[in-house]
A and B are shown apart, each in its own frame.
Chain A
Amino acid sequence: SQTIHQWPATLVQPVGSPLSLECTVEGTSNPNLYWYRQAAGRGLQLLFYSVGIGQISSEVPQNLSASRPQDRQFILSSKKLLLSDSGFYLCAWISGADTQYFGPGTRLTVL
């Protein structure tokens, strides 16, 4: 069966510091991968998606970037965090039946 991992689970970072969040999927190959952000009490905002190694599509221009160095690894990064980057970051992958499955999420607080 497929499993999706995210780490870290929680993170507190100062404004201006760098960020690296990692997502890995097990039990499937060549998945479409997604990064979403959820501000407190809000809905899901799609940030990036990837259909293959090295292929990244950005939905929202901001100070975040994403990379996919391996088939089942998806990384979200920032060189300098802003206060507005605080939120709950969710990684997801999509199966052949178009169903998205989500990881446990990373709760980021920027102070």
Chain B
Amino acid sequence: AQKVTQAQTEISVVEKEDVTLDCVYETRDTTYYLFWYKQPPSGELVFLIRRNSFDEQNEISGRYSWNFQKSTSSFNFTITASQVVDSAVYFCALNTGGFKTIFGAGTRLFVKA
């Protein structure tokens, strides 16, 4: 069975703090894709990153970075020097090449000024 677990329901930080959002996935497939999406208060899910199972390189995009570790089945997301605009719900997701994408329950991030 495929599953995505985001154990952190809510996280609250003060602006400029670094914050890491955890994501643990389960699948028996060797080929799969992992994603992170951001859902700001407006509601639309914004795609942030896609990573395939054969590429364990960490990725950095501005203040965002992603740590993919197959050994622990984790795909964690770090925001450096958080800003109020980072306040949103963040979803981790898994697709094994089929029609369905499995989403985690989401982590709500509050960044206080």
A interface with B by C-beta (< 8 Å): 32, 42-44, 46, 49, 51, 57, 88, 90, 92, 94, 97-105, 107
Contact = CB atoms under 8 A, between A and B. Distances in A.
Contacts of B43: 88, 90, 104-105, 107
Nearest to A32: B99
Given A43-B106, A44-B91, A97-B50, A49 B44 contact: no
Given A43-B106, A99-B35, A49 B47 contact: no
Contacts of B99: 32, 49, 51, 57, 94
A54 B99 CA distance: 16
Interface majority SS on A: helix, strand, loop or mixed?
Answer: strand
Contacts of B7: none
Contacts of A92: 45
Contacts, number: 50
Given A44-B91, A44-B103, A98 B47 contact: no
Interface in B14-54: 33, 35, 37, 42-47, 50
A90 B45 contact: yes
A43 B105 contact: yes
A98 B32 CA distance: 9
A57 B98 CA distance: 13
